[in-house]
Amino acid sequence: MSMLKRLLIGRPLKSTALGEQKITKTKALAILSSDALSSVAYGPEQILLVLVTISATAFWYSIPIGIGVLILLTALILSYRQIIFAYPHGGGAYVVSKENLGMYPGLIAGGSLLVDYILTVAVSVSAGTDAITSAFPSLHEHNVTIAIVFVLFITILNLRGVTESATILAYPVYIFVFALFILIGVGIYQIVTGHVSPALHVPIGTPVTGISLFILLRAFASGSSALTGVEAISNAIPNFKDPAPNNAAKTLVAMGSLLAILFAGIVFLAYYYGIAPKNEVTVVSQIAEQTFGRNVMYYFIQGTTALILILAANTGYSAFPLLAVNLAKDKFIPRMFTMRGDRLGYSNGIIFLAVMSIILIIAFEGKTEHLIPLYAVGVFIPFTLAQTGMMVKWIREKPKGWVTKLIINSTGAAISFIVMLMFFLTKFTQVWYVLIFLPLIIAVCYQIKKHYDAVGEQLRITTCEPPAPIEGNVIIVPVAGITHAVENSLNYAKSLSPHQIIAVHVPFEREDEIIFEEKWNKWQPDVRLVSLHSPYRSIITPLTKFIDTVQRKAGESNYQVTVIIPQFIPKKGWHNILHNQSSLFIRTHLLFNRNVIVTTVPYHLKK
Amino acid sequence: MSMLKRLLIGRPLKSTALGEQKITKTKALAILSSDALSSVAYGPEQILLVLVTISATAFWYSIPIGIGVLILLTALILSYRQIIFAYPHGGGAYVVSKENLGMYPGLIAGGSLLVDYILTVAVSVSAGTDAITSAFPSLHEHNVTIAIVFVLFITILNLRGVTESATILAYPVYIFVFALFILIGVGIYQIVTGHVSPALHVPIGTPVTGISLFILLRAFASGSSALTGVEAISNAIPNFKDPAPNNAAKTLVAMGSLLAILFAGIVFLAYYYGIAPKNEVTVVSQIAEQTFGRNVMYYFIQGTTALILILAANTGYSAFPLLAVNLAKDKFIPRMFTMRGDRLGYSNGIIFLAVMSIILIIAFEGKTEHLIPLYAVGVFIPFTLAQTGMMVKWIREKPKGWVTKLIINSTGAAISFIVMLMFFLTKFTQVWYVLIFLPLIIAVCYQIKKHYDAVGEQLRITTCEPPAPIEGNVIIVPVAGITHAVENSLNYAKSLSPHQIIAVHVPFEREDEIIFEEKWNKWQPDVRLVSLHSPYRSIITPLTKFIDTVQRKAGESNYQVTVIIPQFIPKKGWHNILHNQSSLFIRTHLLFNRNVIVTTVPYHLKK
């Protein structure tokens, strides 16, 4: 077991090696932007899918809508750049909302993002698996298994540590970007050199019957789903090499520029080629076919696209554990999320993310497409909250140049809010779950915090006065037979408190009682034996009653009651199922229900 | 939880009420013979299913084959009657084989029967459910759920106690017998009064082309599957009112007579009516239709047949727990099977049987028909062994009239052996599993016995010499913070051994170490604190190493090491998941891997 763990995860790292686990800008760009960059594979298509419901003439609207998305992207990037400098320890939307808007908005932002990263992993791995198995149809029935294997692979990489996953995953991301750059470059070259018929596209401004502001906003909201993932860097600042905020900000801007170029390029080519969305072939695939024909380059684009979709999951793995740490430090989720694992990653967060996304993949049988709107809305809620939070901050603090900053965040907040609203208005049937699970998450987090606060309160030493000392000990030893295990326990009891030992036997039959008492008196004449006849064959009930009686008397003279339980430990683990687990039951029952001290005296069997 | 249990199972019974839980012959006949009697619903059909592979002319062979089955039945009944008197404490084939043939034959017989009773429950409930849902086709897709509900119902009845289940289940069994008696009576009356054309059946002795001894033996073996369940009474003798063996023997003879009459009647009517087995309609159903037409009586016969098939499962519930007690007393299976539950039944056996048969039903999706041969062979193995065992007994002991007894058992053994062989020869593809799981069961049982013997050996007090006394105690208290829980533990430690207390702190960071030590020295200046810096963030490893060192030193002067673990107990069970379960891990690890005493000092939170 521990061998296997070592093999998969690697040897443990010292806490002081944490600095070496920080990553450079180049690697960070790869692992934190894979989610955002992969969205260009489906974002432009989403716009066309809405416009096609009117007519092919409406396709020219993709250009102004695309410009709108770019404006939103710019606002988001500038805004998150400000967040990075204002909150350099990470936490992104959660910390910003909590600090500036209060606990509940913070929880809404944090809760949405936690769920969102789980959805990111499930949706992107499923989509990538689909892309691969549509090339090899015989694999199609194994979709769920393949997706789970990918999740496990990414999980193991992340458990090995963020530097290792970054090293391995950086190449595919840059290859994808490179491939799309070639596609866009060659496409534009062909247009410029007149190899593409201008008759393919409808001129901008052509009147379209049936178009409405609602449709345009809907297309805009759909296209904005390409912006999911831009917040990841703000959560993961602690993973960057120092100076972390500067490096994170530069990475964010680099990611924004790449995303803008790729998105603009794909939207433009799709428009110029007059591409209509088809059921079987993606828009990017159609562009690639138009540009290159079905040659090596075409398959190269297809392959890297499938790969980037799977790797988009990695963004979730980088951002989720760090966001969870922030929530756990504020006591909103279990404290275990703040523990670093063997390789200094927050392993509990990584494993939790893996388990939840595998459950989602199994529950939806790998068909997670209709989770996409849910996933988009789960991003735009924190986008809106974070930027509103920043607006409040600027207005409150009024630092140098605050008006510019306020304008940037206000623009971002307004557009994000509109997009979020559009999701609710146009895809309510797919996103209403949010209205159920967000309040649920908030309620659970609130209860958890309340509990932790109450525990802290009760454990804190407030007075310097020491508690009343224990004057002496009464020891109760439940005995089942005359064995070495019992002998051991009695021996120990005698060393603690030779004159206050009571052995307790619980016979089910009167005959057993007498026989046992006779044997006992020969064997341990100096230890008092109490027989508790149990006609209903329960051990716990008569024992508990007896302990209560003893405790009442002992309490009068400040004596403490200790129950010593003899337990023999078999040599092999599976042997445990062959033994009546009475000692375990008695121990758990007493600890949880009575205020007695429980001591286990092990007797190790040698064979 | 305990309310629900009380409601379903009833209030606990005193051990002394055991006598009231014994049952009369009438009730015993009902619950112990339901398995055997229900076999007449399919036994005769099994004979015809083999004969039809030759031709319809061969059907007359069902008469001599039926006589053969009746001879086997007589031999078995007489033989088991002798077993009942020879082994009046029950245990049937297992005890007989073990005592007379040795441990391995005993385990083969006992193991086959244990598996067989699980199969009985799964097969008969599935068959009964099928019979019901074929009347209400819309229920057919819920077969598995319905079957599980029936298993749970019978389980609860049996957990309530054998008398209660007998009271409720006796009626349907007698109604079934009554219904078949009417069917046979009316059928024969119609034949005698000449209402049935004699042209329907082929005269006995008509030459049949293609018939062979192999086919006839195969038909005989198939027909013998109607005899499964006749051994149940010999396992369940302890359930009878005193004098148990006499009552059991009388019940056995009554069951044998009823079974003989019903079997003979059905075989004869099927022959005289010239009934051929059909896929959709059972032979009994065809006879009923011929005799009554499709009137109320027809549906009555159908309904009671479905019911008796389900109730056949109850025979398994009566025999399995008592057989398990015998195996457990001999230490071949875990001791828990000898414990009586709240209602004095062997609840562990009942629950185990229910769980296993539900697993079978789910695994085979309710289609357990092809388990029938497995189930039949699993009965004829112990039949053969039990009777061979009795032969050995008579030859060894030579009591009065032993020659007659020997002849009875020899006949039974020979025929059972032939039937068993026929199953292997003719249905090997369906019964070969037996050759895998029987050796497996025997190996597991053997290992279990070996373990129990080794434990008993090691625990037994063989010398009167007391072990070396413990000269003193060293107490180690792992501490995680300065809290009331720790204060409590230190207070207790001081009461035991004021001068030998070592508090151990495991900091992950050097800074924490210094801060904690300063605080500690102000708070508990008289308790020595040891800091074990853990660069790999493990608590167990440095703690264990430290304990080893202390133990080595303590051992030199006969001092005992006790680890006192402070544990706070939250008010609500679910709160436990919010706390790092370190104390539980430490406790388990130390108990299983080190020879130290572990004491848990609970600190009960009030909110």
| pLDDT tens digits along A551-595 | 999 888 889 999 999 988 888 877 877 776 788 888 888 988 888
Nearest residue to B336 (alpha-carbon basis) of B323, B345, B320, B347: B347
* Cα B26 to Cα A100: distance, rounded to the nearest angstrom: 81
A85 membership: H or E segment, kind and range: helix A62-86
- Which residues of chain B fall below pLDDT 50? none
* Cα B527 to Cα B531: distance, rounded to the nearest angstrom: 13
* Cα B113 to Cα B100: distance, rounded to the nearest angstrom: 18
**CATH number for the domain including A187?**
1.20.1740.10
In this prediction, residue A469 has a pLDDT band, given cuts at 50, 70 and 90, of: confident
The edge-to-edge listing of strands for the beta sheet with A528-531 is A528-531, A501-505, A472-478, A559-569, A597-604, B597-604, B559-569, B472-478, B501-505, B528-531
Give the one of A455, A487, A567 whose C-beta lies nearest to B461's C-beta: A487
| pLDDT tens digits along B380-398 | 999 999 999 999 999 999 9
Ordered alpha helix ranges (H), B230-274: 232-235, 244-272
Residue A142 belongs to some domain of the structure: yes
How many separate domains does chain A show?
2
| pLDDT tens digits along A255-286 | 999 999 999 999 999 999 999 888 777 888 88
B461 and A470 within 8 Å at the Cβ level: the answer is: no
> Does B382 share its domain with B479?
no
What pLDDT shows up at residue A98? Answer: 94
Among A452, A486, A508, the domain boundary falls at A452
> Does B502 share its domain with B425?
no
Among A421, A452, A483, the domain boundary falls at A452
Residue B459 belongs to some domain of the structure: no
Residue A464 has pLDDT above 60, yes or no: no
The C-alpha angle B101, B105, B108, rounded to 5 degrees, equals 160
Residue B368 belongs to some domain of the structure: yes
> Does A312 share its domain with A392?
yes
Interface pTM, i.e. ipTM: 0.81
Residue A91 has pLDDT above 80, yes or no: no
Residue A188 burial class via C-beta count within 10 angstroms: exposed 0-12, middle 13-18, buried 19 and up:
middle
B492 and A508 within 8 Å at the Cβ level: the answer is: no
* Cα B268 to Cα B80: distance, rounded to the nearest angstrom: 27
Residues from chain A that touch B597, judged by Cβ atoms under 8 A, are 492, 599-602
What pLDDT shows up at residue B468? Answer: 72
> Does A422 share its domain with A487?
no
| pLDDT tens digits along A131-161 | 788 777 788 788 889 999 999 999 998 888 8
What pLDDT shows up at residue B18? Answer: 75
Give the one of B487, B508, B602 whose C-beta lies nearest to A595's C-beta: B602
Q: Measure B31 CA to nearest chain A CA, in Å.
A: 26
> Does A378 share its domain with A488?
no
What pLDDT shows up at residue A194? Answer: 86
Q: Measure A604 CA to nearest chain B CA, in Å.
A: 7
> Does A445 share its domain with A481?
no
Residue A459 belongs to some domain of the structure: no
- Neighbouring C-beta atoms of residue B546, cutoff 10 Å: 17
Give the one of B335, B342, B496 whose C-beta lies nearest to A473's C-beta: B496
Residue B14 belongs to some domain of the structure: no
What pLDDT shows up at residue B430? Answer: 82
> Does B445 share its domain with B477?
no
Best probe of the A interface among B18, B479, B600, B603, by most A CBs < 10 A, is B600
Residues from chain A that touch B579, judged by Cβ atoms under 8 A, are 335, 455
What pLDDT shows up at residue A568? Answer: 83
Q: Which residues pair with A22 in a beta bridge?
A: none
Residue B416 belongs to some domain of the structure: yes
- Residue B585's domain comprises 472-604
Nearest residue to B478 (alpha-carbon basis) of B457, B493, B466, B462: B493
**CATH number for the domain including B503?**
3.40.50
* Cα B144 to Cα B147: distance, rounded to the nearest angstrom: 5
| pLDDT tens digits along A355-396 | 999 999 888 887 777 777 888 888 899 999 999 999 999 999
> Is the Cβ of B446 closer than 8 Å to some Cβ of chain A?
no
Residue B425 belongs to some domain of the structure: yes
Q: Measure B458 CA to nearest chain A CA, in Å.
A: 7
> Does A436 share its domain with A501?
no
> Does B175 share its domain with B266?
yes
Q: Is B482 helix (H, G, I), strand (E, B) or coil?
A: coil
Residue A463 belongs to some domain of the structure: no
| pLDDT tens digits along B398-430 | 999 899 999 989 998 998 998 899 888 888 888
Give the one of A483, A495, A604 whose C-beta lies nearest to B473's C-beta: A495
Among A452, A484, A516, the domain boundary falls at A452
> Does B423 share its domain with B342?
yes
CB B111 within 8 A of CB B395: no
pLDDT (mean) for A502-524: 91
Average pLDDT value over all residues in chain A: 88
> Does B232 share its domain with B358?
yes
> Does B589 share its domain with B529?
yes
